């Protein structure tokens, strides 16, 4: 995959509000963020800080009230919903806390399903699925269904599914929240290794201290605003 010269993501002056009953909640208030291609970034903050909202806007899962989001140089605001969906399917991978695996499908079939929907040839689907499952350490479990896999293994399947399209970036919302600390640490190590070897951009919304401590770049949100940023010396 040829990586873009433009940043993986650019957010400019993002504002987003939600109405909950009679209360208006300002989820984001003027957030600016640039994520270079190949970066490993954590968006940290407590519940209600706006980190999940920011992740959803970066991934085109929602639209800002004001401001702009660019994915690999493309302004999402100028696209139709069909075009936005195409970018999500082609250029982005998503990993969520709840895994979202199809219980009646094997690990292989869960990872393959999106490629099959896209009409990809069988031999290319096989190459990509086997490569993705091997990358996450599940080459020997690919024929197992989710109910025969541990929580950590199910999250690895979800990660393989996010990687199989060979995306520019993977967006993850609390990917270790359902895992015990040891399994979560294993997933963090895996993600860092994949970032180093594949140069895939990873962006996480999390309050997991294991991910925060090991991330080369951490942006902290509070009340919908960027309040702090840390980068490693390297």
Residue spans of the domains in the chain: they are: 9-231
Residues 6+ apart with CB under 8 A from 192: 40, 214
Outline where DSSP puts E strands in the chain. 9-20, 23-35, 40-44, 66-71, 74-75, 92-96, 169-173, 201-206, 217-222, 225-231
Distance (Å, whole) CA 62 – CA 5: 25
Q: What are phi and psi of 107, to 5 degrees?
A: -55, -45
pLDDT value at position 103? 94
Q: How would you write the pLDDT of the chain (234 residues) with one tens digit per residue?
A: 556 678 999 999 999 999 888 888 899 999 999 999 999 999 999 888 999 999 999 999 999 999 999 999 999 998 999 999 999 988 999 998 778 899 999 999 999 998 998 899 999 999 999 999 998 889 999 999 999 999 889 989 999 999 999 899 999 998 888 788 888 888 888 888 888 888 889 999 988 887 888 899 999 999 999 999 988 755
Distance (Å, whole) CA 178 – CA 156: 13
pLDDT value at position 116? 92
pLDDT value at position 233? 55
Q: What are phi and psi of 217, to 5 degrees?
A: -140, 130
169 with 91: CB under 8 angstroms?
yes
pLDDT value at position 97? 77
pLDDT value at position 117? 87
pLDDT value at position 25? 87
3-state secondary structure of 93: strand
Paired tokens of 98: 């709840």
Domain range 9-231, CATH class: alpha beta
Distance (Å, whole) CA 93 – CA 149: 22
């Amino acid at each position: 995959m040829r990586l873009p010269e433009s940043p993986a993501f650019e957010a400019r002056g993002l504002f987003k509000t939600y109405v909950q009953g009679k209360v208006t909640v300002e989820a984001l208030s003027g957030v600016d963020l640039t994520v270079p291609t190949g970066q490993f970034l954590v968006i940290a903050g407590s519940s209600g800080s706006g980190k999940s909202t920011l992740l959803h806007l970066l991934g085109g899962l929602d639209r800002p009230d004001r401001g702009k989001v660019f994915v690999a140089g493309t302004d999402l605001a100028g696209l139709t919903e069909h075009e936005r969906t195409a970018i999500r399917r082609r250029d982005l991978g998503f990993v969520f806390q709840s895994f979202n695996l199809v219980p009646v499908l094997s690990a292989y079939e869960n990872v393959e399903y999106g490629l099959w929907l896209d009409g990809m040839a069988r031999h290319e689907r096989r190459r990509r699925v086997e490569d993705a499952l091997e990358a996450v350490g599940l080459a020997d479990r690919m024929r197992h269904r989710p109910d025969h896999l541990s929580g950590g293994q199910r999250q690895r399947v979800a990660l393989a599914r996010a990687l199989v399209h060979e995306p520019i970036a993977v967006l993850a919302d609390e990917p270790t929240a359902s895992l015990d600390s040891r399994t979560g640490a294993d997933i963090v190590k895996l993600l860092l290794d994949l970032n180093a070897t594949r140069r895939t951009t990873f962006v996480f919304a999390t309050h997991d201290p294991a991910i925060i401590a090991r991330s080369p770049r951490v942006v902290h949100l509070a009340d919908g605003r960027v309040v702090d940023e840390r980068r490693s010396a390297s």
